[in-house]
Amino acid sequence: MNGAESTDVIIYVVSDSAGDTGDLVVRAAVAQFHPIHAKIRRAPFVADESALVRVIEMAKASGAIILYTLVIPHLREAMNRLAAGSNVVAIDLLGPLVESLENKTGRQSRHEPGLNHVLDEDYFRKVEAVEFAVKYDDARDTTGVKKADIVLVGVSRTSKTPLSMYLAHKKFKVANVPLVPELKPPDELFVIPKERVVGLTIGVHYLNIIRKERLKALGLPDSASYATAERIERELAYADEIMKRIGCFVVDVSHRAVEETASLILEYVRGN
């Protein structure tokens, strides 16, 4: 092909799902032939042979190529037969690979269109939840309290942030709010349904050890007021008062791994 000839190619992407997979493959292939311009025409959610007949007729009339991602066997067989009978170039993207996997594994394909989109949606929900947890960590923006699926409240070092991230990977949007005697808690905490709020508490001795280790890690003396038993008792008493005011579910995180605490929270949330 030289520069004086047409560089337009028509490609029909036929699928019993949305056709995104075929579309991506076509674009990747065409990119190797720049400056060829491909006109991609989708025929998504094909459900019967009559739809295939219409596509093949249009492809034959325009000299187009067909790329198809049909996972339902009778539709794939019909496309093979109809395309061959009409002398239309039709490329089966998934069929050979599915058959090879069946032979290799000894298992049958589920033959269900759109399963990859289920995975994609699942992935993107997880990414969205993680981004939410980062944005609304430590009450940086209290508007997240109303938007969250779960709001964690508790004093410093009760695993609010690790729990937020863990629950985000379970596709829950989590905001967390530190409870500090010197700071007024956001009004949103007392407006949202109490079932969406989870309080985190901890034993004084256990938190004292954790905070001292935190201070050491920061290169600070472990005698700072942040880690004293008196300060911790005051904070926990204040947090307990707030949690009772909200009427929320409370989990004691003392000696519990993040996964164990998260499991208790998920059990509670899914039961409400």
Q: What is the pLDDT of residues 35-82, one digit of tens each?
A: 778 889 999 889 899 999 999 999 999 999 999 999 889 999 999 999
pLDDT band at 2 (very low <50, low <70, confident <90, very high): very low
154 is in an annotated binding site: yes
CA–CA dist 88, 86 (Å, integer): 5
Cα–Cα distance list, 184 to 2, 3, 139 (Å): 73, 71, 12
Per-residue pLDDT tens over the stretch 230-271: 999 999 999 999 999 999 999 999 989 899 999 999 999 998
Ordered domains of the chain (ranges, CATH): 8-113 (3.40.50.2300), 120-270 (3.40.50)
CA angle 89/66/79 to nearest 5° reads 80
Confirm if 261 and 253 have CB atoms less than 8 A apart: yes
pLDDT computed for residue 125 by the predictor:
87
pLDDT computed for residue 1 by the predictor:
42
pLDDT at residue 123 is higher than 80 = no
pLDDT at residue 118 is higher than 70 = no
Per-residue pLDDT tens over the stretch 157-216: 999 999 999 999 899 999 999 999 999 999 999 999 999 999 999 999 999 999 999 899
Tokens of 39: 């006109």
pLDDT computed for residue 90 by the predictor:
95
pLDDT computed for residue 4 by the predictor:
42
100 is in an annotated binding site: no
SS3 11: strand
Tokens of 34: 């720049």
**Alpha-carbon torsion, ordered 157, 160, 162, 163, to 10 deg:** 140
pLDDT computed for residue 119 by the predictor:
60
Between 29-33, 142-146, 228-232, the lowest mean confidence (pLDDT) is in 29-33
164 is in an annotated binding site: no
pLDDT band at 117 (very low <50, low <70, confident <90, very high): low
pLDDT at residue 128 is higher than 50 = yes
- CA 164 to mean position of chain CA atoms: 14
pLDDT computed for residue 27 by the predictor:
85
